[in-house]
Amino acid sequence: MLNRKNGTFEVKKTDLLGRIGQLHTKSGIIQTPALLPVIHPTNQEIPPKKIKQIGYDAVITNAYTTWKQIGEKASQIGIHKIIDFNGVVMTDSGGYQILEYGEVEVNPVTMAKYEESIQTDIAVILDHPTGLSSRRDYAKKTIQKTLDASLQTLKIKSNPEILWVGPIQGGRHLDLVAQSAIQESKLNFDIFALGSPTEIMRNYNFQLLMKMIFAAKSNIPLDKPLHLFGAGHPLTMPLAVGLGCDLFDSASYILYAREDRYLTNGGTIRLETLKSLPCSCPICVQYTASELKQVAKSERINLIAFHNLYVLKAEIQSIRQAIHDGRLWELIGAKARTHPKLWAAFKYLTSISKGLEDGTPIYKKKAIYLFSKEDLYRPEVIRHRKRIRKDIQLLSTGNLILISEIDPKPYTSLHISKMLSNEAQFNIPNQIFFISPIFGPVPLEISEVYPIPQSLFAGKLPSYSYIANDLKWMIRNNKFKQIIVICLNPDLHQLMSSISRNFSCKIVDLCTYAKSDQQDVAVDQVSHIISDNSD
């Protein structure tokens, strides 16, 4: 087995911009995507050993708080023993305190040296988060202060085993987020991190958060992990992973527990409203909802916190499985339908399909599912439509024959074999395209290539007007002896009737044979029409 050096990030599987990977550190490997629970260095309500037992191989704690409460003595003990965690430890450096209180009693160089002295595995420089400030001049100052701190830290760091995190600032100012990402990416960081999401999430402005993530992700090296500070919630993690976040940290598990908020994969529920516990984690199989309500407050906080950790762990595992199966888009879509603000964020994905293509495999082992018009803009569909225009060379002579999509797929199945056998006898070459309301024109020659036959649309198919421009492009840019459109769908018939006002098309209406029990009759009709127009 190969030994990987610290900082190596191996990507094993991708979907959208989400990645299953391995980040190598001096204390072990982090399997991504990963959530790092926040651990207080001295006041630990949940024993870190228990967190490790649940399945968390990495946690994050605060070096600034450690410095304030333990001081230089921590250098002799080491952060792993201080928090009693046998795994990967990441340390924040006081940026959160700067966001909350405006300043801290330490400078970037002192904090960097302190983080090295306590032997952390992953260290964050002392950054200046932008927060939710709408003031552009203030956002620029936080970017510059963070950049200055980055330069100072990297200049004096001395332990090559520690991975360093370069924070990206800019807040709601997306162009400044991109600028900060470009500046930080020029420096020798092992990990990059996007700051200031917590306040944005509190306001349910998920679409803004997604835009911030994409602005950062688009401007950092692909071989480096992206961390999202303070964003550990089952509803937002799939979206964030889909846009390229590899690591998260959050104290939500304990913060929710203190307020008797019971976490589910669809959000939080007040314990007082629960009649039963919709979970089978070790906590929920030991207690009923009524019994949990009767437990003393301090113990109840611990129990709910444990439950919340199990839910968050299950969510991360669900995301990994979705990436492995090529179903991350479907998972995100399902989550998005649980809240209107999340749906707005999901719709944002439809506007950046091109940016999601690189991580989306060209071929997948499973079919893609489409549920609404938004799914027509997923990368697999957009990629196919673009490739038809770019890669398919149309004949300059002969007939162009356009046929309504025929079920069941693939189009070359036995029930149209007669049409294909007749094709070999034609004197005039025909170029046959099936017209899919999802993928547009599909050449017969590639009609069995993924994802065309391996796609399922729920309910009524979308209007053919969605692919009108594809059809116009095909007809406008080529010279055929004859264009024959065989319509088994009234919507396509209406569209082609409109298009034929500008282009000469022979439209054959076979819509009366569109029902599944008359498909064979329709195929016979199609075969005769092709044969009659090929002499």
**321 Cβ neighbours under 8 A, 6+ residues apart:** none
pLDDT digits (tens, 9 = 90+) for 153-193: 999 999 999 999 999 999 999 999 999 999 999 999 999 99
- Does the active-site annotation cover 92? yes
Q: Which of 15, 57, 84, 92 is catalytic?
A: 92
Q: What is the pLDDT of residue 481?
A: 77
Residue 98 has which token pair? Answer: 């700067």
Q: How many CB atoms lie within 10 A of CB 378?
A: 25
Query: What pLDDT is attached to residue 127?
Result: 94
**Structural contact between residues 268 and 201, judged by C-beta atoms closer than 8 angstroms:** no
Residue 258 CA to residue 516 CA, distance in Å, equals 58
Copy the structure tokens of residue 529.
């029409």
- Predicted pLDDT of residue 104: 84
Are 99 and 133 in contact by the 8 Å Cβ rule? The answer is no
| Confidence (pLDDT) at 271 | 96
* Residue 342, SS3 per DSSP: helix
Q: What are the residues whose beta carbons fall under 8 Å from the beta carbon of 46, sequence distance 6 or more? A: 37, 253, 254, 302, 305, 306, 309
| SS3 labels along 203-254 | CCCHHHHHHHHHHHHCCCCCCCCEEECCCCCCCCHHHHHHCCCCEEEECHHH
- Lowest mean pLDDT of 61-75, 211-225, 401-415, 484-498, name the range: 401-415
The model's pLDDT over 370-389, given as tens digits with 9 standing for 90+, comes to 998 899 999 999 998 888 88
pLDDT at 424: 47
Does the pLDDT of residue 326 top 90, yes or no? yes
pLDDT tens by residue, 79-129:
999 999 999 999 999 887 887 777 788 999 999 999 999 999 999 999 999
The pTM of this model reads 0.90
Summarised one tens digit per residue, pLDDT across range 46-87 is 999 999 999 999 999 999 999 999 999 999 999 999 999 999
Domains detected in the chain: 9-348 (3.20.20.105), 368-532 (3.40.50.10630)
* Mean pLDDT across the chain: 88
